[in-house]
A and B are shown apart, each in its own frame.
Chain A
């Protein structure tokens, strides 16, 4: 059992870790210097998912998505949707591993073969999965403060270099730009769909809804501050020109003449948060797999799933270019299908079934 507080930290880490590195560069390409507003619109996807999932969870208490799917769409449908979700979560985990590898190789270890980095990551993921969700929840409680701390230290480190005229004219790409910039990041906010499998693990689920909504807002706020920093330091068009704008800002941090070039230190907490994200996805993949296939010992799935994902990620994303293109173009479309569309459809199905049963009850 994990507490609501721990759950909210987990969810924040899940969104924040990818968001902090990729959100500004991706959304600034579309949104101009209004990019700092984009996270608040991306947030909507997360809010919808949370509302739908908590509603369904109230109707089917202490049951995971796989558990209540048969009651909504029948046995065959449940099996199909369940299997699709397993693949989806597994694919998410795989992408996370590949993203970590990409960043680590680009910034910390340029000459180290991917396999070595992959092995190190997969061993940590496997060990953490064996330790269980509760350990992960306690772990995030140890390091969650690194999320605001990262943003605060970055702010202090680059505050002197912010060009104030970079924010003007306000919204130079207009509101439409802000909306377009919010589209890709909304798929990361939508990743809160893992709640469908985490909610039954929460000990006191009465406060879940408000706490999670607050978490999302705070996370969006942090990402918004990060985008503001990037706009101020690099300028909008320069930020849109660079692949990892956040990383450029981290490299720009300087405290006096003594503490400079400390970008590698920023990557340490980021790496931990990213690992947590990967572990969460693999955890959900393992749980949903074992529930869909009705396995009694889910732990035997851990090693095959993680190792297979490394092989496949290697095969799917052979280079940096593929993964960034995938993240920008392919990923949002199909992930939003699983994250937002399917839960909404399930919710509608539930409502229809409710109406039908009421009618059935009324007619005889």
Chain B
């Protein structure tokens, strides 16, 4: 009991500047990036000290807002209190008073400047944040031809501002908090009040609060604690780097998490169909976009099944191959050493390796790799009679179709699931294939993302859903909660429409 009291006492800002300075210096031992600027205020020689991290704050701002006012503005006053400084002198917009030393220290390392003065047991913390960061740039990972081109940056509040510019409504709520026991990274929960289910917001908050994680370096770190207890290759939390996408997701009643230092926003709950939609769908002509969306569904199915179906056809059910095609495949088969199943497996693996290599290498070399891989190796392997030309075509088709999937999470799930499906087909033919598909489908329909059925608007579906699932029907400019039929334990009683 007493020790805690003592600790509290120790944490309290002392009335004497020297003692405070000593405690700060003790706390920031071996932290050479901390600046201590000693100043004298007024005529009585009352001392003050501004403490900040040199490159986290905007140096000009410290000079203009604090130092000039404090040093220059108080020639005719004897002494001042923090309250006076706060209300009369400092022109920074975000200031607050703190009585705890550790809290003040936290503010310093978060990039605020802290003013400590003699004869006052409170300190003033001022927002003079201004470190070097990237400007808003064009979205690179979610390219679209139409619509806003800007992408999120690493600057949290900037990102919020980007979203605000899309939704000018008081119902857009922005709740700020900190996560990570060590990193203490700020994050923001965005939601539209009235559109979102209340239970959803509290569930997200609860999960984040309960998660005992030390380090949060990217929004990806949060995903694991948010999707606890769900073992699945499928993404149940969507991600985006486009503010217009975030705005659209918010208007569908989702919760968005923005994390400092991360240009990727998380959105939840997410449905499977979301990963097959892009913002452009709603900006362009709906006939064209319906067609393209349907194409995406086909591509999704193809990229998962084409290699397996090919193996089933060539290895098991020869009767399914049309007569004329049969002859050409037969002539390719002559002299090939590997069984088709292993051939496809090896080629798929090679493709994945090439893809990873192309991704990690600098852009200029990456393209060379993909050309070398695709053209040279493929062509050479076919000519050397190591693989069938059809196999190369099949693997290429799989690759290309998987690139049409807009959601990265889904396409990686498909990449992963392709291999077990290939194995099953290789061992049991079309029967194994259908067993594999059965497993995948029944797994998909059993998934839930924050109480919403993952296959919502596909598996529990209504006519309203169909209009915006396989097709993009006209008149999608009204607010519509897509999982209305798919909610499991969410209450949407407050939602309008």
Interface pick from B141-149, B406-414, B456-464: B456-464
Identify the closest chain A residue to B309 (Cβ): A265
Those of A236-287 within 8 Å (CB) of chain B? 257-265, 267-268, 271-272, 275
Identify the closest chain A residue to B455 (Cβ): A138
Query: Is B428's CB under 8 angstroms from A267's CB?
Result: no
> Can you list, as one digit per residue, whether each of A123-140 has a CB less than 8 Å from chain B (1) or not (0)?
110011001101110110
Interface pick from B57-65, B71-79, B434-442: B434-442
Those of A139-153 within 8 Å (CB) of chain B? 139, 141-143
Give the contacting residue for A135; candidates B424, B431, B434, B446; CB below 8 A: B446
Q: A124-B439, A261-B320, A264-B319 are in contact. Are A139 and B428 (CB under 8 A)?
A: no
| Bound-complex Cα distance A128 to B443 (A) | 8
Q: A257-B323, A272-B438, A275-B438 are in contact. Are A109 and B429 (CB under 8 A)?
A: yes
> Can you list, as one digit per residue, whether each of A101-114 has a CB less than 8 Å from chain B (1) or not (0)?
00010001100100
| Bound-complex Cα distance A257 to B432 (A) | 28
Chain B residues with Cβ under 8 A from A205's Cβ? none
Chain B residues with Cβ under 8 A from A121's Cβ? 435
Those of B402-435 within 8 Å (CB) of chain A? 424, 428-435
Query: Is B459's CB under 8 angstroms from A271's CB?
Result: no
A120 within 8 A of B: yes
Chain B residues with Cβ under 8 A from A142's Cβ? 441, 445, 455, 458-459
The bracket for how many chain B residues form the interface is: 20 to 34
Give the contacting residue for B435; candidates A120, A258, A259; CB below 8 A: A120
A362 within 8 A of B: no
A116 within 8 A of B: yes
Query: Is A139's CB under 8 angstroms from B430's CB?
Result: no
Judged by DSSP, the binding face of A is helix
| Bound-complex Cα distance A355 to B207 (A) | 58
Q: A109-B428, A127-B439 are in contact. Are A138 and B453 (CB under 8 A)?
A: yes
Give the contacting residue for B428; candidates A116, A136, A272; CB below 8 A: A116
Query: Is B446's CB under 8 angstroms from A131's CB?
Result: yes
B322 within 8 A of A: yes
Those of B321-335 within 8 Å (CB) of chain A? 322-323
Q: A108-B429, A109-B429, A127-B442 are in contact. Are A271 and B434 (CB under 8 A)?
A: yes
Query: Is A139's CB under 8 angstroms from B441's CB?
Result: yes
Query: Is B319's CB under 8 angstroms from A139's CB?
Result: no
Query: Is A139's CB under 8 angstroms from B459's CB?
Result: yes
Identify the closest chain B residue to A262 (Cβ): B320
Chain A residues with Cβ under 8 A from B316's Cβ? 108-109
| Bound-complex Cα distance A3 to B443 (A) | 20
Query: Is A139's CB under 8 angstroms from B429's CB?
Result: no
B165 within 8 A of A: no
A117 within 8 A of B: yes
Chain B residues with Cβ under 8 A from A268's Cβ? 430, 433-434, 437
Give the A interface residue count (CB, 8 A): 38
Query: Is B431's CB under 8 angstroms from A141's CB?
Result: no
Query: Is B431's CB under 8 angstroms from A136's CB?
Result: no
| Bound-complex Cα distance A142 to B443 (A) | 13
Query: Is A272's CB under 8 angstroms from B431's CB?
Result: no
Min distance, Cβ A307 to any Cβ of chain B, angstroms: 17
| Bound-complex Cα distance A27 to B69 (A) | 100
Give the contacting residue for B459; candidates A108, A138, A263; CB below 8 A: A138
> Can you list, as one digit per residue, whether each of B308-323 has a CB less than 8 Å from chain A (1) or not (0)?
0000000011011011
Identify the closest chain B residue to A108 (Cβ): B431
Min distance, Cβ A333 to any Cβ of chain B, angstroms: 32
| Bound-complex Cα distance A265 to B429 (A) | 12
Query: Is B438's CB under 8 angstroms from A264's CB?
Result: no
Chain A residues with Cβ under 8 A from B322's Cβ? 257-260
Query: Is B445's CB under 8 angstroms from A264's CB?
Result: no
> Can you list, as one digit per residue, whether each of A320-332 has a CB less than 8 Å from chain B (1) or not (0)?
0000000000000
| Bound-complex Cα distance A78 to B34 (A) | 81
| Bound-complex Cα distance A308 to B317 (A) | 32
> Can you list, as one digit per residue, whether each of B446-475 has a CB less than 8 Å from chain A (1) or not (0)?
100000010100111100000000000000
Chain B residues with Cβ under 8 A from A264's Cβ? 317, 319-320, 430
| Bound-complex Cα distance A6 to B461 (A) | 11
> Can you list, as one digit per residue, whether each of B133-171 has a CB less than 8 Å from chain A (1) or not (0)?
000000000000000000000000000000000000000
Chain A residues with Cβ under 8 A from B432's Cβ? 120
Min distance, Cβ B21 to any Cβ of chain A, angstroms: 64
Query: Is A124's CB under 8 angstroms from B438's CB?
Result: yes
Chain B residues with Cβ under 8 A from A134's Cβ? 446
Chain A residues with Cβ under 8 A from B435's Cβ? 120-121, 123-124
Query: Is A135's CB under 8 angstroms from B445's CB?
Result: yes
Chain A residues with Cβ under 8 A from B459's Cβ? 138-139, 141-142
| Bound-complex Cα distance A268 to B458 (A) | 20
| Bound-complex Cα distance A131 to B438 (A) | 12
| Bound-complex Cα distance A320 to B171 (A) | 67
Chain B residues with Cβ under 8 A from A116's Cβ? 428
Chain B residues with Cβ under 8 A from A141's Cβ? 459-461
| Bound-complex Cα distance A108 to B446 (A) | 29
Chain B residues with Cβ under 8 A from A272's Cβ? 434, 437-438
Min distance, Cβ A226 to any Cβ of chain B, angstroms: 21
Chain B residues with Cβ under 8 A from A112's Cβ? 428
Chain B residues with Cβ under 8 A from A132's Cβ? 446
Identify the closest chain A residue to B438 (Cβ): A124
Query: Is B430's CB under 8 angstroms from A267's CB?
Result: yes
Min distance, Cβ A173 to any Cβ of chain B, angstroms: 35
Chain A residues with Cβ under 8 A from B433's Cβ? 268
| Bound-complex Cα distance A6 to B438 (A) | 18
> Can you list, as one digit per residue, whether each of A216-228 has a CB less than 8 Å from chain B (1) or not (0)?
0000000000000
Give the contacting residue for B430; candidates A108, A128, A138, A259; CB below 8 A: A108
| Bound-complex Cα distance A265 to B445 (A) | 23
6 sampled A-B residue pairs with Cβ under 8 A: A108-B316, A109-B428, A138-B453, A139-B459, A142-B455, A267-B434
Shortest 5 CB-CB contacts between residues of A and residues of B: A138-B459, A138-B445, A135-B446, A131-B446, A261-B319
